[in-house]
Structure 1
Amino acid sequence: MDLIPAPTHLHEASDSASFPLDDSTVIDAAPGTEGVARWLRSAVGAATGLALAPGSDGHVIRLRTDSGLAAESYRLTVSSPALDITGGDPAGVFWGAQTLRQLLGPQAFRRAPVGAATLRVPCVAVEDAPRFRWRGFLLDVARHFMPKDVVFRYIDLLAAHKLNVLHLHLTDDQGWRIEIKRYPRLTEVGAWRTRTKVGLRESPLWDERPHGGYYTQDDIREIVAYAAERHISVVPEIDIPGHSQAAIAAYPELGNRDVIDTTTLPVLTSWGVNPNVLSPTDTTLRFYEDVLTEVLALFPATFVHIGGDECPKEQWRRSQTAQARIKELGLADEDALQSWFIRHFDRWLTDRGRRLIGWDEILEGGLAPGAAVSSWRGYSGGIAAAQAGHDVVMCPEQQVYLDHRQHDGADEPVPIGYVRTLEDVYRFEPVPPQLDDEQARHVIGTQANIWTETLDSVRAVDYLVFPRLAAFAEVAWSRLPAPELRDYPDFAARMAGHYARLDALGVEYRPPAGPYPWQRRPGVIGRPIEGAPPIV
């Protein structure tokens, strides 16, 4: 069996019996599982040309829930007369249906029939449950905008790998990607830049075409609903107080006007940490409260990500307004001022029944009790947060930043960051050994991130995300042994079958032998980091 991610238990029948998927196959969906039945008809039905009509006679796929099972867990039992998927909740039934699709073979991942109408499912018994409740993937649509059909496609790819959180990075210095009706200039101005640096900051190359785009509020509603049908939660990121130049370009009063002429700031056209940050005024607070009010109406997810990373303090040190605010609040310094920013929005979100999550810099200066941390600068921030009783999503850049190169060969396109191979990602362990059992329970999950500074097309994104996202999905879902004990040869053997599924889905992954000629980008300068520092 080449299932990915690997299930907890799998037992194959000793004989060659199988369940046929043919014109007589029907779906018997119990209350609460109707959405899974719709998905089976839309995905597997399209691939096979079969109606998979409702019914209880013939070859029956039975969908049920059982409150005795844990959330998101499932049992899949295949016999020659019937196929049963029972989940602890509708999400568990859906993940069982994803396993069924894999058992049907690569043909089941196409959008129209290409072969025989009858497929056969081997008789197996699968019992399965996820290790983590947050199995996430960050898609950066701020640096390079991704049309909503690309977002839908990635939602389907996450679902196929049993990942259940899409973290949408919606705002940054280089673009604002979500319509806010109260502040239309955020998209009229902030969603568009005049040109784009090709490669990282050191590169002399520019794409002189304007770049931009944004999602209307109806687009966001559609994305959220599409994801919810696949039991995926969409977590929005609205960056505060750094990474905010696109917002300042649209509304100059948000910036530090007593330090620079904010009316001259454009949407940023290059990359890197940017000194132009939000001014700590009541005007700024009210502005972002208004923004978040509209965001909350669009995203039902419990968590809202507010960034909080890479906020240089130079302008605050020079700003009389910022210094007056520090004095007024009795704060120690500019780091404490950033903490005040974060705590304000933590309270604001908590009052509305939501939870704040931010990058690990939000720990600096102290963190409110309900806030959670995305640990990206290694493990240390996550360790500190968990030891202090905060929930943590582990996403250390040294391990699971998928924009980092997959090989040290000269042909890798725009080589940046650390070399992290498919095997490296497979051996990533989200829970550091420094945590005791109680602290480890605060590691609510893990997440792989794709940042798109150097990725200007979906083909480029595919190349870096896959196949490594398949390895990450197994880390997030399956209860694997310690990294050094993991059976990578077994995973690699299962990947041989999984590549055919990715081919059927049209994913332009990195081939095991290295990039095809059209996947290379010679002459585009990156920033290779030779070796990796100790993980802290």
Structure 2
Amino acid sequence: MRRLEIVYFICLLFCFKSISLLGQNIIPHPNKLINKGGFLDLGKKVNIVQREASEEASLLKGYLLEDFNIVSQEKKKGQFKSITLKVEKNKENELGEEGYLLDVNDNGIVISAAARAGVFYGVQTLRQLIKRNDNSLTISIPRVYVEDRPRFKWRAFMLDEGRYFKGGKVVKKMLDEMALLKMNTFHWHLTEDQGWRIEIKKYPKLTEIGSKRDSTQIGSWPTGWKSNEFDGKPHSGYYTQEEIKDIIKYASARHITIIPEIEMPGHSTAAIAAYPWLGTDRTPQNVPVAFGGPMAVQKVLNVTDPKVRSFLHDVLDEVMALFPSKIIHIGGDEVKYDVWRNSSKVMSYMEEQGFPSPAALQVWFTNSISNYLASKGRRMMGWNEIMGKKLDAGADEKDHLVEDNLAPNTVVHVWKGDLNLAVQAAENGYDIVNSYYAHTYFDYDYKTIPLKKVYDFNPVPKGLDSKYHNKILGMGCQMWSEWVPDEEILGRQVFPRIAAAAEVGWTDSSSKNYEVFTKGLPYFFQRWDRLGITYYNPKKMTSNAN
């Protein structure tokens, strides 16, 4: 009899754990969720009580009205159910800056956190918990207790607007979806070979010339780079500094930091088209219309010229004046070393300075930019080519002879190559953001990177000793836009894969469950239908939009 009681007790524990994990389908899934049973009827009106969370209370009022037609008022006491938002700084050791507690009981809802960001993320969980009953006359929320905090502090989505300008309305829509998914970093790729998208007042031609091209190569992934078709339509667009300030303010209210990316020394043809003296041959150049094939043009900055380096300092000064982020991304990927090798001035400089390879020149240049940013209180970030390592099997070893080390305060953004290089970088003290392309590149089709492959990504590379795990800041997912000319295609490529990426960044591996994750998607499908956002439905194998 005693043995039966023990077995029964173990079964109860297993069932309780299953209920606590599977009872509510929230994305990203909370790391601790207890379903207490029953529901709280919210009614059509609620009181909002806040302590040091006035901005979050204001956003909550908007969410309740827009999503559920619930009218709310800020009152400490009232005849309606209350939602209490409060910052309790003494909970920082327990919850960190982004964790939160959420308790739904018979008296109302309480969200508490050590900082405003945690309160905000508790509100995002609340939005997914609220249910409209079948008759649509009453609105209820399950009685649950949630204790939650993120696995990683860097949870990013990158939008490439260098290839195709999308505009502030689209960016704000993306920021809204990121916020609901508890993503906290918007990586904004603003300059490319095919377009310069940020106003720099000291160099107006960057946008007068660099933001425009006469036509655009047409194609789709993965064959588009070989396409000989062009649309024949001019494409242009850029953000004024005032528009950028507005978007930064919008993101900040949603606890999203914007990391600007200004590409250097490669992917800089649009800048060189505006100011030909930036390039190695100083010859006039149109903004490229092709992304690949024989018509593709990829110029490289002449970093041996002090005037070019002064130009970059000037650009970065204006970028830093706009963006409060502590980190500035400088790209650094896919530099065409042949351009430097074909320049007698660059080769002479390399010989004078004793640089054994183009990669050594790039590391020297990158460190100079890192030092400049550090002098302004910022940190440099770049794709992992900035380390000077050979990432492609077919690359020439001679191009990657490097004696100097990358500046120690650099954030290395891993996207390709042997992941053992990422392990070595972490062991050598570098902070890492892991965006390994095979799991995080949303320009790839769903056959190549299906939803589950995104979900299964682990940003901590295999073989990394646990004592270095804190060097992995987190992960990012990327929307490269060569073949994404409009918002409809953008939506289909991003949604719902961004939801899987969000759970990778937030939820502990032990709390992840792909089947549970997919059960949370209908909430988002209904939301995206209502908002007219195109998305890809893995079950229907089709795209959907209003």
Scaled by the length of structure 1, the TM-score of the pair is 0.88
The match for 1:329 among 353, 371, 379 is: 353
Task: Encode CA deviations 1:38-58: one digit per residue, 9 max, x unaligned.
Answer: 111222223334441110113
- Work out the number of aligned pairs and report it: 492
CA 1:289–1:489: 2 relative to 1, 3 Å: same
Q: CA deviation at 1:456?
A: 0.6
The match for 1:303 among 327, 337, 349 is: 327
CA 1:344–1:21: 2 relative to 1, 3 Å: farther
Equivalents in 1 of 2:269, 2:412: separation in Å? 23
The answer for unaligned runs of 5 or more in structure 2 is 1-23, 389-401
Give the corresponding residue for 2:12. none
Q: CA deviation at 1:21?
A: 4.4
Q: CA deviation at 1:164?
A: 0.4
Give the corresponding residue for 2:408. 369
Pairing 1:460-475 to 2, within 5 Å after superposition: 460-475=489-504
The match for 1:287 among 311, 320, 338 is: 311
CA 1:432–1:286: 2 relative to 1, 3 Å: same
Give the corresponding residue for 1:110. none
Equivalents in 2 of 1:96, 1:518: separation in Å? 29
Alignment partner of 2:273: what SS? helix
Identity of paired residues, percent? 38
Counterpart AA for 1:504: R
Q: CA deviation at 1:380?
A: 3.9
Residue 120 in structure 1 maps to residue 154 in structure 2? no
Alignment partner of 2:73: what SS? coil
Give the corresponding residue for 1:208. 232
Equivalents in 2 of 1:336, 1:115: separation in Å? 68
Give the corresponding residue for 1:429. 458
Counterpart AA for 2:475: T
Mean CA deviation greater in 431-440 or 123-132: 431-440
CA contact (8 A) 2:132 2:140 kept: no
Give the corresponding residue for 2:88. 66
Equivalents in 2 of 1:334, 1:369: separation in Å? 21
Q: CA deviation at 1:82?
A: 1.7
Alignment partner of 1:13: what SS? strand
Task: Encode CA deviations 1:334-386: one digit per residue, 9 max, x unaligned.
Answer: 21111111011000001111000000000114310100111000534422321
CA 1:162–1:46: 2 relative to 1, 3 Å: same
Equivalents in 1 of 2:105, 2:166: separation in Å? 43
The match for 2:435 among 388, 395, 401 is: 395
The match for 1:153 among 173, 176, 197 is: 173
> Which of the two has higher C-alpha Rg?
2
Pairing 1:120-519 to 2, within 5 Å after superposition: 120-199=140-219, 200-257=224-281, 262-263=283-284, 265-272=285-292, 274-280=297-303, 281-364=305-388, 365=402, 366-378=405-417, 379-407=419-447, 419-481=448-510, 487-513=513-539, 516=542
Q: CA deviation at 1:439?
A: 1.9
Residue 20 in structure 1 maps to residue 52 in structure 2? no
Equivalents in 1 of 2:348, 2:138: separation in Å? 73
Alignment partner of 1:201: what SS? helix
The match for 1:56 among 62, 69, 76 is: 76
Alignment partner of 2:146: what SS? strand
CA contact (8 A) 2:68 2:132 kept: no
Give the corresponding residue for 1:97. 123
Give the corresponding residue for 2:398. none
Q: CA deviation at 1:433?
A: 2.1
CA contact (8 A) 1:19 1:79 kept: no
Counterpart AA for 1:399: H
Mean CA deviation greater in 487-496 or 286-295: 487-496
Q: CA RMSD in A?
A: 2.0
CA contact (8 A) 1:49 1:117 kept: no
Counterpart AA for 2:34: H
Equivalents in 1 of 2:200, 2:523: separation in Å? 44
Counterpart AA for 1:426: Y
Q: CA deviation at 1:93?
A: 0.2
Counterpart AA for 1:375: V
CA contact (8 A) 1:177 1:213 kept: yes
The match for 2:63 among 43, 46, 70 is: 43
Q: CA deviation at 1:390?
A: 0.3
Counterpart AA for 1:391: D
CA 1:192–1:514: 2 relative to 1, 3 Å: farther
Alignment partner of 2:182: what SS? coil
Give the corresponding residue for 1:410. none
Equivalents in 1 of 2:298, 2:420: separation in Å? 25
Equivalents in 2 of 1:276, 1:106: separation in Å? 56
Residue 88 in structure 1 maps to residue 108 in structure 2? no
Equivalents in 1 of 2:280, 2:110: separation in Å? 61
Give the corresponding residue for 1:6. 29
Alignment partner of 1:404: what SS? coil
